[in-house]
Amino acid sequence: MANPSVTPSIDQMIAGHRPGHALERGFYLREDVFARDVEMLLGRWTCVGHASEAPRGGDYFTAELGTESAIVVRGADGVLRALDNVCRHRGSRVCIERHGSVAILTCPYHAWTYHLDGRLRRAREMPADFEPAAWPLKPLPLTEIGGLIFISFGVDAPSLDAAAPALQAMTDLYGWETAKVAARRAYTVAANWKLVMENYHECYHCAPAHPEFSVLHALARPNARKVRTRAESRAEPGAIADFEAWTPADLRETVRVMRSDLAAGAVSGSRDGKPLAPLMGRARHDGASIFAELGLLSAFLAYPDHGVLYRFIPRGVLETEMEVLWLVHGGAEAGRDYDLDALTWLWDVTSLADKAIIERNQAGVKSRSFTPGPFSLMEPGTQAYVERYLAELERVCPTTS
């Protein structure tokens, strides 16, 4: 009989997980689990923003994950690159602002300067045998899919051979490659990142917690979450096929693209269901939206007239940042083609409600009386997410367990 006073290792907790149930409380509270989580997440692909945020040579923005930071910069040659935001001299952050535009990258500590492609340009007062070519900023894997920028902090990021085409089909239909960011907001949640992600993957909570969302989206109803077959997808003119690659045994990057009907008469995510902005790409008002995700920390929602990007950023064991970006047609202007407050209303009020319910969830999970309960029939997405998480965590070298 196991001794309850002995703290189980992470691998023991993984092996002891009860299928069809939530995770044990230690997964949400322990520092060693969080450290291993971050190690796993660093090696995967995560969306850091949209190409319109760095349209010209010298434009950059930074993105963080755990203790890591990246510079996403467009070079003088027009190429987007991701570089480790760590000076090769003594490790200072090179870019300290969230975004900006520069001719060269300059470390604020000792003024080492770098070209926009990461090559060391100048280092003051170094020995005669110092070789600048040996000390560039370290590059990170970057890929762009329909205007969405994904990076990985790992050396061997998962294959995108299934994920990229599925997401590309969605972004092509909705014209995201030529879209622009209309707004960006961040919500700090005092909870473990997995509770945040588990909440996002089910709509069991939507009816009691999100009346604004539920009145517009069929996904809030029982049995509404269903990935259509290709035959069902083709039955809708101009639609794209649903696609799901989420099996734990698959070493490729995960992806899900799923059509979801809106309420009768609704065509967009607005207070009254009416259009909010000009149509994007080849989209038409067909009474539906598309939910999509790639990897473990990035999610997307496409309406015919605007898009929503969700970035989930683990900051600590009990702190997660939810960052929301709203996309509109690249030529649309605020105040003329759309009202910014109306555009952001639904996913602002929904995100604030999510923050509240997730923090209450975390408070309960902290309790010694918490016992993982069974998933409902409306939580297959969360169950699949938990299974994938455990499979990926098991692959990470258990240096902290």
What value, to the nearest 5°, has the Cα angle with vertex 266 and ends 264 and 272? Answer: 120
| pLDDT of the residue at 156 | 86
Q: Token match 């969230």: residue?
A: 98
**Domains in the chain, CATH or no CATH each:** 50-142 (2.102.10.10), 158-395 (3.90.380.10)
| pLDDT of the residue at 400 | 44
Beta-strand relationship, 243-245 and 180-189: unpaired
| pLDDT of the residue at 292 | 96
pLDDT in tens, the chain (401 residues): 445 567 999 999 999 999 999 999 999 999 999 999 999 999 999 999 999 999 999 999 999 999 999 999 999 999 999 999 999 999 999 999 999 999 999 999 999 999 999 999 999 999 999 999 999 999 999 999 999 999 999 888 999 999 999 999 999 999 999 999 999 999 999 999 999 999 999 999 999 999 999 999 988 787 655 655 555 555 565 678 888 887 766 678 999 999 989 999 999 999 999 999 999 999 999 999 999 999 999 999 999 999 999 999 999 999 999 999 999 999 999 999 999 999 999 999 999 999 999 999 999 999 999 999 999 999 999 999 999 999 999 988 654 44
| pLDDT of the residue at 300 | 98
Buried b (16+ CB within 10 A) or exposed e, 126-152: eeeeeeeeebbbeebebbebbbbbbbb
Please check whether residue 317 is in contact with residue 195, taking contact to mean a CB–CB distance below 8 angstroms. Answer: no
Q: Give the separation between CA 215 and CA 221, rounded to whole angstroms.
A: 10
Q: Model-level pTM greater than 0.85?
A: yes
| pLDDT of the residue at 352 | 98
Q: Give the separation between CA 203 and CA 222, rounded to whole angstroms.
A: 9
Q: Give the separation between CA 27 and CA 195, rounded to whole angstroms.
A: 10
